[in-house]
A and B are shown apart, each in its own frame.
Chain A
Amino acid sequence: MTKAIPLFQSLRCRLIVSVVIIEIVMLSILVWNNISIIQTTHTDRLHDTASSMIQQIANTSGTYMVAVDYATLEDYLKNMSHYSELLYLAIFDRDDKLVISLGPYPENKRPRADTSPAQTDDDIFDISQDIQIAGQPMGKVAIGFSLSLMQDAIKKSRIRGMSIAAIEIILTVLVTVVIGLGLTRRLGLLSNAAAQVEAGNYSITVPTEIGDEVGKTAIAFNRMVAEVSNRTRLLQQEKSHSTKLLKENRQLIHYSLQIQELERKHLARELHDELGQCLTAIQADAELIRDLSNKDPRITTSATAIMEVSSRVYDVVHSMMHRLRPGVLDNLGLVEALKDEIKAWETRNIETDCSFTTDGDLSQLGEHTNITLYRIVQECLTNISKHANAKHVSISLIKHHQKLLLEVQDNGNGFISREYNKGLGLIGMRERVESLNGSLQLNSKPGEGLSICISVPLSG
């Protein structure tokens, strides 16, 4: 089952958030730019107005100044002083004496002229200009403009601009979210459908009413789901069939192994009971013939030969009996049988040292368990002598709680799967373990030996 996608990792969310962020950033830049333009425009307007006004006054005042007609000049200037931003207007004669003052001109502390409304040391934009006629100085005009009206206008413009921008941002966010959700709704449906398919619900279908890219993807998705559903059903059928076959095969193998062991046991008993008795009788008769030969060399020699041959046959038969069914297993139990087997193995592989340890009560394991474990150890030792080239082998058999743990470990060449897979030994071991409902685990690396761990549950 697919986990729900976190909000900020979903495509829809990221898409909408990206558009909203871009929109907010762009609008912020726009508003900042507009505010800057508004400020510059107002400043430039006041600067231009002031420059134009002072130029006009300077041009006009010259004739009045040379005629010392201050009354007429003052009347003329009064008409201009109605300009709302004009704070004061002062005219100085050629001796820099204040002759006309309209508005609160600070005569005691004459203000310095400012270069721009944006660079004033107070809230008054002070400018001045010489009055000239034909290059002859006639005096000076000084004008002060209050910046409060301009600042109010800028403030109002700024508030208005920011309000419009805020509304625009809110509307943009809403519209973007609505449109974004609408556009990405079908992607969400696709995503949910994919999650349900992943969870195993192949009956899901995605609407395909619109033939755009998402619609085409939805059609392909529906086809893909139908195909996956069909193939999954076929696979499940095949798997079910295979499982059934495997189970039957295993039962057959286990049954075969049991039959094999029974046959071996039966054959060993027959050899012991029938052939053993015959050989003993042959040997006794040969011995009697030798004793009754009266020192006839030919008879003695033949009788002795018969005794030797029968003894060798007995050894062979005994060996076959042991391989078919070691008698010590039935008589003395698994541990002694393994010790006997290991001892015999060491005799055949004198360059390899083998240790065997046990722990727990292993006397009541049952015949099937005993012969199975015995065969497994026997197979392991056979493989080691064939492939491992080991110097030391350790075998441990431990009964722990309700579990029987068998570990066969060597320090040989390590596991080379291909060589093992050549024969049926590993398969046979695995099947024998399976017959005990146990598990088999191989641990090996090339050059670092092999460890075979077998765990068998003990019932009761």
Chain B
Amino acid sequence: MKSRIFLSAILLPLFACTCLANKTHHCSAASPVTFGILPFVSAEQLVIRFTPLVNYLSHHLNVEVRIETAPSFIEFSRRTTEDKRYDILFTAPHFYPLAHKSGYRLIASVDSAGMRAVFVVSKKSHIQNINDLKGKRLATVDTNSLAALLVRKYLTEHDINPDTDVNIIATPTHNASLLSAYHGVTDASALMQPPYEAASEQVKNSMRILAKTDRAPHIPISVGDKISSACATQIRELLLAMSSTTEGKQVLKHNRFSGFRLSRAEEYEKFNALIFRP
């Protein structure tokens, strides 16, 4: 009996200190949970798009969930890997391997066939196939984006050196990339397919798809080490259950997601070959 009391006296303060040191998040904790989202669209659009999802999580986890992003992909990645700033991470597939190495644990991914980039040109353009892009101006988003990686990979596979054979012009967003080709500022545009599909009919009717890259796994959702296992499980279950509830469906519809599914870290290992190093 005495030994139990002694053990408790030693272990309880140690446990408490550990908890305080790690600031481990139990979903009912008072401090807010940071939902880090890759700045793949403008910050305002990001907030508009993800606010319902964040509110959904906040409501069901009974904790304040805050949207946060970064000025750039590189800064977002740095804050992810070095600062471990985000409790819940919504990042691009090719960034996940680095996050995983920093301690983030995959809990789900967007339930979709996978993301791919498309090459589009004006319907009036003389460019008929991918090889016609040589010597032309190709607009695409940040070189560190998934789209840029898929495009470079696709060009390389078709014997086009992306650094010398085409003039790649970086644009701040996918939409900007598409509009540059639409207005004739560039000869072609390479962007992820979902933003292209979401473009206005007027723009889409003026463009045609020249080529499509291979699909990449969809966006992973992971949690940092401040999130307890129990809370991570709770979050995962909430995400997975969204497609089966009315409320969840409305949120998913707003986000243009069909739902979330279980996924494994191995699905994203293929990006190690193309690993992004900030």
Contact = CB atoms under 8 A, between A and B. Distances in A.
Interface stretch (B46-54, B89-97, B234-242): B46-54
Interface in B44-89: 44, 46-48, 51, 54, 66-71, 75, 79, 85
Contacts of B66: 94
Interface of A: 62-64, 66-69, 72, 94, 133-136
A405 B47 CA distance: 130
B37 to A, nearest CB: 9
Contacts of A94: 32, 66
Interface in B4-55: 32, 39, 42-44, 46-48, 51, 54
Contacts of B79: 68
B44 A62 contact: yes
B68 A68 contact: yes
Contact of A69 (B48, B67, B71): B71
Given A63-B42, A63-B43, A94-B66, A134 B48 contact: yes
Closest 5 CB pairs of A and B: A63-B43, A133-B47, A69-B71, A134-B48, A134-B47
A3 B48 CA distance: 95
Nearest to B34: A68
Contact of A66 (B32, B69, B75): B69
B51 A135 contact: yes
B2 to A, nearest CB: 46
Interface residues of B, number: 19
A66 B51 contact: no
A134 B44 contact: yes
A69 B74 CA distance: 13
Contact of A67 (B48, B51, B54, B69): B69
A66 B68 contact: yes
Nearest to B54: A136
Interface of B: 32, 39, 42-44, 46-48, 51, 54, 66-71, 75, 79, 85
Nearest to A63: B43
B67 A67 contact: no
Contacts of B67: 66, 136
B71 A66 contact: no
Nearest to A71: B71
A260 B43 CA distance: 145
Contacts of A66: 43, 46-47, 67-69
Contacts of B46: 66
Contact of B71 (A62, A72, A133, A134): A72
A68 B71 CA distance: 8
A302 B69 CA distance: 181
Contact of B47 (A64, A69, A72, A136): A136
Contacts of B39: 67
B7 to A, nearest CB: 38
Contact of A134 (B32, B51, B70, B85): B51
A133 B45 CA distance: 9
A319 B142 CA distance: 166
B70 A67 contact: yes
Contacts of B75: 69
B51 A136 contact: yes
A69 B42 contact: no
A454 B235 CA distance: 141
A94 to B, nearest CB: 6
Given A62-B44, A63-B44, A69 B70 contact: yes
Contacts of A135: 51
B80 to A, nearest CB: 13
Given A64-B71, A69-B71, A133-B47, 4 more contacts: A63-B43, A134-B47, A136-B54, A136-B67
